[in-house]
Amino acid sequence: MNAEALRALLPLLVLAATPLAVMMGIAVRRHHGTAMALSALGQAAALAATWSGPETASGAGGALLIADAFSHYYWSLLLAASLAVTLLGYGFWRTSEERAEEFYLLVPVATLGSAVLVASTHLATLFLGLEILSVSLFGLVAYERGRAASLEAGLKYLVLSSAASAFLLFGMALVYAETGALEFRHIASAAGRPILLIAGAALMVAGLGFKLSLVPFHLWTPDVYQGAPAPASAFIATVSKGGVLGLLVRFFAQGGAGDLPGALALVSVIALASMWVGNLLALLQSNLKRLLAYSSIAHLGYMLVALVVGGPAGAEAATFYLTAYVATIVAAFAVVTLLSTAPREAEWVEDYRGLFWRRPPVGAALSAALLSLAGIPLTAGFLGKLLVIAAGVSALLWTLVLSVAVTSTIGLYYYLRVIVAIYSPASADEAPRLAAAPLAAAALAAAVAAIVWLGIYPAAVLDAIREASASLARLSS
């Protein structure tokens, strides 16, 4: 391995070393703050290592994974999100009886899985990354051992996720049997009997669709979002889904998945179903975490529209949308975390009644996050939606584009319901006194700043995303 390759892979190496350091730190001295600090430092160092990007846009790597500009962009996004989740965790566990140190161990491990996913160019690394991610997620979801809902969510996730992995493996096996290839670019150039290839691709879509909670593989989402501790829910929504989406973008661009007959039609149907089902079911929710779960189904549907478009425009739109979504969801869950006192989380919409008048900055931050989810200008979500619609229009996908427009208006309705609650007169009974959580507040401030920055002047981010998407095309040609 030469120096250039070492530099390109440095973020991954630092990230892999982080859990080891945390583990040893816990072995020496079990202390909440130290474990959090070690974990956060490691992730921050890995994030810093992504700063300059790979020396050449095509990056470094072998047959299994590649550290190109695309990987680096996604790594920085995933690491920023996981760092925020770590800080949120510190705020969340501050009042808990639970031993929280291992939380800071599981977060970097799961992030490592996601980071491997977005860089993988080979089915073996794909599966490896996905399993590293899933196994640590079981632990994260069920981390509150004392709470039945958390355990139930963990178990549900474990069982369904294993089934999804089995589907994925079976799909890979079919593809391999037909093409004799495991590397994405060999799969793209190989030919096989379409019937088996389609079956393989469909099974893989099912496996990955589970992770992205796309309809009809979404049934776990609301329960897990509700049951898992708030920072873990934030992690699933950002790092886990972000990693899988990055993989899909790469797989469509370099693995030729879009060229398979019927594949685009399949993804289009899933996108349509996710947009409609997610938004319509979210209308019925009175629990904010469940509402965010259903809304995430819809948002992943929007991102799939960009994926169907394909090409650089589609990759750019999906990546920007994901960036905006990550910032927004971190902000939303940061508010949930800030208002929660273990063992009771502020998860009902009623808990937010009058929030703006009780705690103006937090109320304003949650409004910004909700408006960004609804795609209103001045927020990141607006530009994301605009790019997705532009990509859809450029590919003349009118059904999908009009569905985005109509369903996001439906979505607006339930976001507005929460906003109405935030700005209603505060209830008479005194709000519970909450312990200060400066780190979680800092994460919230950073996320809101990112939402506004991405909404007003995202020129630099757009350039970085363009470069990242270009590196995808370079390899496939």
Partner 1 sequence: MILLLLVLVPLAGAVLAWLAERLGAAWPRIVSLAALAAGLGLTAAVWIDQASRTSLPGVAAPGPWLVEYDAAWLPSIGARFHLAMDGLSLPLVGLTFFLGLAGVIASWTEIRERVGFFHFNLLAVLAGVTVVFLAADLFLFYFGWELMLVPMYFLIAIWGHERRIHAAVKFFLFTQISGLLMLVALLALYLAHGAQTGLYTFAYEDLLRTVLTPGTERWLMLGFFIAFAVKLPVFPFHTWLPDAHTQAPTAGSVILAGLLLKTGGYGLIRFVVPLFPGAAASFAPVAMTLAVVGILYGALLALGQTDLKRLVAYTSVSHLGFVLLGVFAWNTLALQGAVLQMLAHGLSTGALFIVAGLLQERMHTRDIERMGGLWSVAPRLGGVGLFFALASLGLPGLGDFAAEFLVLVGSFQASAVAASIAAIGMVASALYSLRLVQRTFQGTNANGWRIPDLVPREALLFAPMLALLVWLGLYPQPVLDTFRPVAERLQQVTTLPANAEKHPGAAPGRQGDR
Q: Which is nearer to partner 1, 138 or 320 (CB)?
A: 320
Considering only residues 106, 401, 448, 454, which one is a binding residue for partner 1 as defined by CB under 8 A? 401
Considering only the stretches 22-30, 260-268, 378-386, 436-444, report the one whose residues sit in contact with partner 1 under the rule CB under 8 A: 378-386
Concatenating the DSSP letter of every residue in 57-69 gives TT-EE-SSBEE-H
Q: Which is nearer to partner 1, 154 or 458 (CB)?
A: 458
Alpha helix segments (H runs only) across 257-379: 263-282, 288-309, 311-339, 355-358, 360-374
Q: Compute the least distance from the CB of residue 27 to partner 1, in Å.
A: 49
Does position 57 interact with partner 1 (CB under 8 A)? The reply is: no
| Nearest to 262, CA basis, from 202, 210, 207 | 202
Give the footprint of partner 1 on residues 445-474 (CB under 8 A): 457-459, 462-463, 466
Q: Which two tokens stand for residue 354?
A: 């009058």
CA-atom Rg of the chain in angstroms: 21
DSSP state of 352: G
Residue with tokens 């779960």: 293
Q: How far apart are CA 207 and CA 217, in angstroms?
A: 9
Q: Compute the least distance from the CB of residue 43 to partner 1, in Å.
A: 29
Residue with tokens 């979680």: 440
Considering only residues 269, 393, 436, 449, which one is a binding residue for partner 1 as defined by CB under 8 A? 393
Does position 402 interact with partner 1 (CB under 8 A)? The reply is: yes
Q: Which is nearer to partner 1, 230 or 461 (CB)?
A: 461
Q: How far apart are CA 272 and CA 215, in angstroms?
A: 9
Residue pair 108/20 in contact by the 8 Å Cβ criterion: no
Using CB under 8 A as the binding criterion, the count of chain residues that bind partner 1 stands at: 30
Q: How far apart are CA 215 and CA 277, in angstroms?
A: 7
35 burial via Cβ count (<10 Å: 0-12, 13-18, 19+): buried
Considering only residues 272, 355, 412, 444, which one is a binding residue for partner 1 as defined by CB under 8 A? 412
Write the interaction track for partner 1 spanning residues 335-364; mark x where CB under 8 A is met and - where it is not. Answer: ----------------------x-------
Considering only residues 377, 427, 432, 476, which one is a binding residue for partner 1 as defined by CB under 8 A? 377
Does position 371 interact with partner 1 (CB under 8 A)? The reply is: yes
Using CB under 8 A, list all residues that contact partner 1: 357, 371, 376-378, 382, 386-387, 389-390, 393-394, 401-402, 404-406, 408-409, 412-413, 416, 420, 423, 457-459, 462-463, 466
